[in-house]
Amino acid sequence: MKRLVVGVMTTPKYNGWRSKRINDNIPKLSQEGARSMEEYLQVVPSELEIIKQDFERRNAGLGKRIEQLEEEKMHLRLDVDVQKLEAEKLRKGKNKAEEDLDSLKTDYKKLRLSMRTAGLRKTSE
């Protein structure tokens, strides 16, 4: 019987292949294009979650708009109150002026009457 004894003769190509293999000739994964653990664990939002986020964003925008409108409404109410106060002052001033005018008319009539009774009217003509 002849025995064939083969020594360790390996080529660089074989060494490269052997260094890549792990248990039972499973090649190692290359790190190119590999995702991190965080990326693997990242949850992809569902369509419902996307719609919910969009709704919440719009709702927040509308809430801000409502606050702005309420503030504007408050300013307009203050403006109305100021205008009412000014109108009331003008009404009081008008009433006072009318009373003064009526008083002057009354005084003028009295003066004319007293001039007539005193006879001053005839002398001034």
Q: Which tens digit of pLDDT belongs to each residue from 62-121?
A: 999 999 999 999 999 999 999 999 999 999 999 999 999 999 999 999 999 998 888 765
Asked which of 28-32, 46-50, 121-125 is least confident by mean pLDDT, the reply is 121-125
Kindly state whether residue 32 falls inside one of the protein's structural domains: no
List CB contacts of 71: < 8 A, sequence separation 6 or more: none
Domain holding 97, by residue range, is 50-117
Cα separation, 89 vs 82, whole angstroms: 11
For residues 115 and 121, the answer to whether their CB atoms sit within 8 Å is yes
Kindly state whether residue 20 falls inside one of the protein's structural domains: no
Kindly state whether residue 122 falls inside one of the protein's structural domains: no
The DSSP code for 21 is: B
Kindly state whether residue 23 falls inside one of the protein's structural domains: no
Kindly state whether residue 105 falls inside one of the protein's structural domains: yes
Kindly state whether residue 85 falls inside one of the protein's structural domains: yes
For residues 50 and 42, the answer to whether their CB atoms sit within 8 Å is no
Kindly state whether residue 61 falls inside one of the protein's structural domains: yes
Tell me the pLDDT band of 30, cut-offs 50, 70 and 90. Answer: low
Kindly state whether residue 59 falls inside one of the protein's structural domains: yes
Cα separation, 17 vs 13, whole angstroms: 6
